[in-house]
Structure 1
Amino acid sequence: MATSSICRRRSLSPRRHLTTSPASFILLPLFSKKRTMWCYQNDRCKDNFKKSFRLLKGCASERLSALVVVLLLAIVSYTLYEVQYKTGIEIVPFLPIDDSGFETYNEKLLNDVVTSKAAQNQLPRGSLMCWVMTTSIYHKTRVNAVNSTWLPRCDSSHILTNSPRFLDDQIPYHTVFNSLPESYYKLFWKTRLALLYVYQNVSSEFDWYFKADDDTYVIVDNLRKYLARFDPEKPYFIGYRLKRRMPNNGYNAGGSGYAMSRAAMRIFAEKLFHDKSLCPYHEWEDYAIARCLASMNIYPLDSRDELGRQRFLPWRPEQHFHADLTPSFLMDPIQFWGPSIFHENLVSMHHLKPDEMRLIDGLLYGVSQGIWKPQKAPNSSTSLVNSTEASPMEDTIQPPTVSF
């Protein structure tokens, strides 16, 4: 008889298993001291014990093999799942790509959006609208840093999030993502919904729309200056070009932010949002959005300046500084590194901590413009000990107080 059937039979006979298995030498004392002594002295019991011990080893080996097989199947299935989502190709029919978000995460969710007073008071039209995508776990950190540095310099600034938690009415927030689960695999649905919301529900009367992450710092003055050379009535899609999976025309990195002209936003909202054949799902949201726009012949623009320097930096600044980038992702060759990446046309930096944003903002708009210089030098003929005039420190415009 096969070992597996013996294992099953013995497992179904608890009483027999109790008297013949190795466990009996532990369990028997719990029932009868006399019976335990009998088993120790009985040859048949000893033989049964040895036989059971051998069977136990066989069962353990069999179960371990089964466990290894199950584990291997799980690893293979997960690998196929990952490859399928990363390539967008259905490798096997029983692992279909989940695109149910087209029916679930659509404009119906926009009926329950909570909007703050600050958001309602933003300008309804202008040259540049900026919005930042975030979630409630960063409301006390990243959102405060973004809202106290670069974001208000846009004509209209907005925070798109999933909850009003920890936010007051001074923050221009919209709870657009309150019905979307937090997951990397949901980023496409979030970005897709955000693009529709800002154009359809906030305003369609801006020349340019700039999307950024909550750990991105944007030099808005340089962004305005750069975008001013283009016609917003033509469909433009501008950012840092990557080529992974789109080697011909590339796609714009989402982290360092990208700008879309009014014409491009109109095409997305009116023609692409509802069409899953033109705008299919992919877990890389920046790649997926670029693929949507490419279906309407809207491709990323080469955003380098006249010297070939990048305006948008999607990796950490030190990675660009040391040219420590992933070559397989790069559309444009690395031509500049070191201090030259911090040039006069730089627009954005990514993967920054809140305090790094404040530091950069203070250096750009504080120290470099002399905002924190003393307004009046103290009278040298007056004794500082007996004088009632303000000291040089007190007479200095202090930097804004930052609450953590």
Structure 2
Amino acid sequence: MGAVWCCSSMWWGLSGVARLCDGGLSGVARLCDGGCLVLLVYVMEGCLVLLVYVMEGCLVLLVYVMEGYDTRIADVVSEHVRVLCWVLVQDGAFHTKAVHINNTWGKRCDRLLFFGSTTNETSPVIGLGVKDGRHRLAKKTFAALAYVFKHHFNDADWFLKADVDTFVVMENLKYFLSDEDTTRPVWFGEHYKPYLSPWSYNSGGAGYVLSREALRRFGSHVGHSLACTNANGPEDATLGYCLQTLNVKVGNTTDKHGRSRFHFDMAPDQIAGRQLPWYKHYLAGPYRKGLEWMSDYPISFHYAKTHDLLALEFFFYTVRPRGVFRGFPEINRASSGDTRR
């Protein structure tokens, strides 16, 4: 048996035993005769039972974990936070690269779109009519956002852009966004400060997510505003300039401990603090490196090769140490609506 906490340090009446294992319920847990909160955690043979009693009338909450893993807490958040994901793909790269997003983290998006230069009948890639090339990446990004605004504006609350070498932990992203307001003009990601450009923006490789209001402003002005039409320069900085002219703010994505959630690099490099020399000049806020500066709920990693995508999927969703149960600490800021420019 785990532990019992009570405001008067007393055991209240306990009749019966609740156990939800192997799909069955045996016994009834009843914690009564009290006026305080009683929390009893019972773990046996892989079966977790959580009993909660508040005041008279005996409110009993039974949560159980059987084989596999329990997604009900994440499912509750997911039902209220809809995320459309879109990924830029080079011609011919869907079956060698993007397909692995489709089979890993992408399947947890509420809607997943792939954009490329041309439409291909052998893949779900949507052609934008913009040639491949790093110097055309901003133009392709603007075209993709315009397409999402025109065809999918009402399909989601938030709109996530990622690359084919980005890995996203969707449950952590939705948890973060659950405390945000999509009617605010804001976009989130790994925040870069003004360095080579006079405005701040979010890293393209780490992925960034626009609120519905941010997408509405972009879609309403693209083709009309010079800043949102002249798509020349680095993709992320160019989009940052466009959104700044539309008064769309860069949001704060660090957790309440100041730790990072979006990452421009792969997990091992972030953990070991092996950032590239230029990183400290770009990162907004204090320079963060090493495991102690990474959030317990990381959202994204970049530069993931095919085997990295599969490895991250395995470690996040399959590996678990036997006999260890960890709670779900709240790490969102009490008021995470603060923005930075």
- TM bucket, shorter chain: 0.5 to 0.7
Q: Once the 2 structures are TM-superposed, how far is the Cα of residue 369 of structure 1 from its aligned partner?
A: 8.7
Query: 8 Å contact 2:150–2:219 — kept in the other structure?
Result: yes
How far off its partner does 1:233 sit? 1.0
Cα distance, 1:316 vs structure 2? 3.2
Whether 1:271 and 2:226 are equivalent positions in the alignment is no
1:328 aligned to 274, 281, 289, which one?
281
Offset of residue 166 of structure 1: 8.1
Can you list the C-alpha shifts for 1:319-346, whole angstroms capped at 9, x where unaligned?
3232423222122222341x33554220
- Which of 299, 306, 331 is the equivalent residue of 1:347? 299
TM-score by length of 1: 0.55
Structure 2 matches for 1:164-203, cutoff 5 A? 164-165=119-120, 167-168=122-123, 173-177=124-128, 179-203=129-153
Instruction: Say if 1:309 and 1:336, in contact at 8 Å, map to a contact too.
Output: no
Matching of residues 2-401 of structure 1 within 5 Å: 127-165=82-120, 167-168=122-123, 173-177=124-128, 179-243=129-193, 244-246=195-197, 250-277=200-227, 279-320=229-270, 321-325=272-276, 326=278, 327-337=280-290, 339-340=291-292, 343-368=295-320
CA RMSD of aligned residues (A): 2.3
Cα pair distance change 1:367/1:255, threshold 3 Å: same
CA-to-aligned-CA distance 1:134-158 (integer Å, 9 cap, x gap) = 1123222211210000011011111
Q: Secondary structure at the match of 2:87?
A: strand
Task: Name which one, 1 or 2, has greater alpha-carbon Rg.
Answer: 1
SS for the counterpart of 1:192 is helix
Shift of 1:368: 2.7
Contact 1:279/1:289 (8 A) holds in 2: no
Amino acid at match of 1:331: A
- Secondary structure, in 3 states, of the residue corresponding to 1:312? coil
Shift of 1:361: 0.3
Q: Is the 8 A contact 1:280 1:292 kept in 2?
A: no
1:14-72 per-residue CA deviation (whole Å, 9 max, x = no partner) reads xxxxxxxxxxxxxxxxxxxxxxxxxxxxxxxxxxxxxxxxxxxxxxxxxxxxxxxxxxx
Q: Shift in Å at residue 313 of structure 1?
A: 0.5
Structure 1: distance between partners of 2:162 and 2:150: 19
Cα gap change, 1:357 to 1:282, in 2 (>3 Å): same
Structure 1: distance between partners of 2:175 and 2:257: 16
Instruction: Tell me, yes or no, if the aligned pair for 2:173 and 2:299 is still in contact at 8 Å.
Output: yes
Deviates more, 1:198-207 or 1:222-231: 198-207
* Contact 2:158 2:212 (8 Å CA) reproduced: yes
CA contact 2:260–2:294 (8 Å) conserved in 1: no
Unaligned runs of 5+ in 1: 1-124, 371-404
Identity of aligned residues (%): 26
Q: What is the number of residues matched between the two proteins?
A: 239
**Secondary structure of 1:259's match?**
strand
**Which protein has the bigger strand share?**
2
Contact 2:110 2:156 in 1 (8 A): no
| Distance (whole Å) between structure 2 residues aligned to residue 191 and residue 231 of structure 1 | 24
Q: CA deviation at 1:213?
A: 0.5
Deviating runs (4+, > 4 A) in structure 1?
Answer: none
Distance 1:369 1:218 in 2: 22
Report the structure, 1 or 2, having the larger helix content: 1
- Counterpart Cα distance in 1 of 2:223 and 2:313: 36
Amino acid at match of 2:273: H
Aligned AA for 2:254? R
Unpaired runs of 5+ in structure 2?
A: 1-79, 323-341
